[in-house]
Amino acid sequence: MSVSFVDHFSALSDPRQQWKVVHPLPEVLLLVLCGHLAGAEDFVEIAEWGSEKLDFLRKLLPYKQGIASHDTLNNVFNALDHTVFSALFSSWVMSLTQDMPALVAIDGKTSRRSHKRDGKALHMVSAFATQARMVLGQQACAEKSNEITAIPLLLEKLQLTGALVSIDAMGCQTKIAQTIVDAGADYLLALKDNQRSLAREVELYFAGNPHNSADFESVDAGHGRIETRRVAVSHDVGWLHGTKQAAGEPRFPALAAIAKVDRVVEHKAKSTVSRQTSYYITSASLNAEQLANAIRGHWMIENGLHWVLDVVFHDDLCRLRTGHGPQNMALIRHAAANMLQANTAKGSMKVKRKRAAWSDDFIKQLLAQPSA
Fold category of 86-240+251-305 in CATH: Transposase Inhibitor Protein From Tn5; Chain A, domain 1 (3.90.350)
In this prediction, residue 267 carries a pLDDT of 81
Phi, psi (rounded to 5 degrees) for 155: -60, -35
pLDDT, tens digit, 9 for 90 and up, residues 290-305: 999 999 999 888 888 8
Mean pLDDT of 58-69: 96
Phi, psi (rounded to 5 degrees) for 259: -145, 150
Mean pLDDT of 220-241: 87
Give SS3 for 210: coil
Rounded Cα gap, residues 38 and 47, in angstroms? 12
Between 363 and 3, the more confident residue is 363
Closest CA to 159 of 139, 181, 184, 126: 184
In this prediction, residue 261 carries a pLDDT of 95
Give SS3 for 189: strand
pLDDT, tens digit, 9 for 90 and up, residues 320-372: 556 788 889 989 999 999 999 888 889 999 999 999 999 999 999 998 865 44
Between 66 and 213, the more confident residue is 66
98, 371 Cβ separation under 8 angstroms: yes
- Confidence at 243, pLDDT banded by 50, 70, 90: low
Give SS3 for 4: helix
Mean pLDDT of 178-192: 96
The share of the chain scoring above pLDDT 70, in percent, equals 88
In this prediction, residue 3 carries a pLDDT of 46
In this prediction, residue 245 carries a pLDDT of 57
Q: What is the DSSP code (8-state) at residue 364?
A: H
Rounded Cα gap, residues 279 and 222, in angstroms? 25
In this prediction, residue 27 carries a pLDDT of 96
Q: pTM (2 decimals)?
A: 0.87
Between 38 and 267, the more confident residue is 38
pLDDT, tens digit, 9 for 90 and up, residues 186-215: 999 999 988 888 999 999 999 987 776 779
Rounded Cα gap, residues 341 and 132, in angstroms? 8
* CA–CA distances in Å: residue 156 to residues 35, 64, 179, 247: 31, 39, 8, 29
The full set of domain ranges for the chain reads 3-80+324-368, 86-240+251-305
The answer to whether residue 253 scores a pLDDT higher than 60 is yes
**Mean pLDDT rounded to a whole number for the chain:** 87
In this prediction, residue 316 carries a pLDDT of 65
